[in-house]
Structure 1
Amino acid sequence: MNPSFDACVEKIIPFHEAAKISEQIRKQKKIVFTNGVFDLIHKGHLTYLSQARDLGDCLWIGINSDSSVKRLKGPERPVNPEEDRALLLSCLSFVDYISVFTEDTPLELISRVAPHIHVKGGDYDLEALPETPLVRKLGGEVRILPFVPGFSSTDLIRRIRQKP
């Protein structure tokens, strides 16, 4: 394979290795963590992830496993399997690490990564997030970034399926 592709693959960190890798990184870098499905990457995702990376030195993304996406979004999702979603995100220059989690929330992965900052998009309420108490307990902060209107994977999938 090509060395730059190999570098993308190396950014994908197995769940069970997240704590060890994070411990090494957090001594020297500010870790920003976010999570989501990231089924079909669009401009809203790119804007949000780039802004998240600007908050620290290292952007770590937790992506929902296929089984958790089905529980959260329904039986027809995800459109792309977790391996493909992880690989696509890992090829973005401003993404440093990706881990897949199987639970409906990223709480277990957050406890392993222990980010300095946990970020969510503007369509979330800071105090309603199940992650907020854990991140604060770990000494981190939670930030809500502005929502990029007009971009949604769910809407995009709906438009694609309506085409003849």
Structure 2
Amino acid sequence: MTTQNIADLCAAHRQEGRSIVFTHGAFDLLHTGHITFLENARTHGDVLVVGVHLDRHIRAYKGRGRPFFPFVDRVRLVGALRIVDAAVECPDSNAVGLVRQIRPDVYVKDNQADVMRGPEAGVVASYGGRICIVPYTPGISTSLIIGRLRDADRTRPVPYT
């Protein structure tokens, strides 16, 4: 879905009286921490829109070898989740442009992010939106999974903890 299409979709939902929730991330190796986060985000409104970052932004942040899955796969996986109403490209290294376009009623991030210092916070505040911080799921992340896979005995399942 293009950013213009998502802006139009959000405007249509808003005209119907629905509130828009927005979040964004890499969603490289989709895991239960992501699902829990998205489920929590969903509880803060009627329509959940998720921005998925481009490969080059993840590489710049996470380093060589990341992401494991290309953008087209990651956005398709996120968009296929029944708790997500729309998944869209996050074209910048942050989500300021998308926040300006869709003007979510609620902007959601986890408590590992310094949301109030992020550039999105000022944009959300400028139009009276709300910022919501949901708990991070400890003990599971893509980076932890990668580390466990590298260290694991390949004959046994890799535990989360």
Correspondences of 1:1-164 after superposition (within 5 Å): 13-28=1-16, 29-163=18-152
Shift of 1:129: 2.2
- CA apart distance, 1:51: 1.0
Contact 1:32 1:117 in 2 (8 A): yes
Task: State the Cα distance separating 1:18 from its structure 2 match.
Answer: 2.4
Partners of 1:156 and 1:20 in 2: CA distance: 37
Greater CA deviation, 123-132 or 37-46?
A: 123-132
For the residue of structure 2 that corresponds to 1:105, the secondary structure is coil
TM-score (norm 1): 0.87
Stretches of 4+ moved more than 6 A in 1? none
Paired residues in the alignment total 152
Q: Is the 8 A contact 1:107 1:131 kept in 2?
A: yes
Unaligned stretches of 5+ residues in structure 1 = 1-12
SS in 1 for 2:132: strand
For residue 100 of structure 1, report the CA deviation from its aligned partner. Answer: 0.8
Letter in structure 1 aligned against 2:137:
V
